[in-house]
A = this chain, B = another copy of it.
Amino acid sequence: MPAQADEAIREKVLAVADRLYYSRGIQAVGMDALRAEAGVSLKRLYQLFPSKESLVEEVLHRRRQIWNQLVEAAVATGETPRARLLAVYDMLARWFDEDDFRGCVFINTFGELGASTPRIADLVREHKAQFQARLAELIAEAGGPASLAFQLAILAEGAQTTAAIAGTSEAAGHARTAAATLIDSALAERAQ
């Protein structure tokens, strides 16, 4: 039982679970469907993850890391603080254009399980708070006010939800335009 093989299987299961949960919803995907798709025995599945809930938690944890990497990769492309902020919305636009886009995993999970599973509701809260804190850092670099972080976070949130429901990716462009307006307005006000 080589530990590194276990790690590979873990990652495979997490990747499959992420894909199935995201496309069909968590409650709609049973452990058996997961087992079949991942090519793992049920016994192994429960050795790696003691329960479905713990598996869901790890899927969210993994998504959070991926999200953070996407944000940082986008931010790294900007030369100025303003460009770094707007790059986040460009990243959203690319994401919304993917074929399997179905909204924010965290929002969907919150709607599905938040009322009955406090641990998962907390994970969602943490993730959103962390993203907002990152926005606040970028805004501080630009010399903007703290309230701007709330406004930009609301825009990003709304863009994800709107894109998921309307099924079009144009929400990202509108959010980006609105973000630019809000940033410029806040900086202009501070400048005078």
Give residues in A with beta carbon < 8 Å to B. 23-25, 27-28, 102-103, 106-116, 124-125, 128-129, 147, 150-151, 153-159, 161-162, 164-167, 170-171, 174-175, 177-178, 181-182, 185
Contact = CB atoms under 8 A, between A and B. Distances in A.
State the copy count for this chain: 2
A191 to B, nearest CB: 15
B166 A158 contact: no
Contact of A161 (B27, B161, B171): B161
Q: Which of A159, A164, A178 has the most CB of B within 10 A?
A: A178
A159 B162 contact: no
A154 B150 contact: no
The 10 closest A-B pairs by CB, nearest first: A158-B158, A111-B111, A154-B158, A157-B158, A108-B111, A150-B174, A151-B178, A112-B112, A25-B115, A157-B161
Nearest to A111: B111
B25 A125 contact: no
Contact of A175 (B113, B154, B156, B175): B154
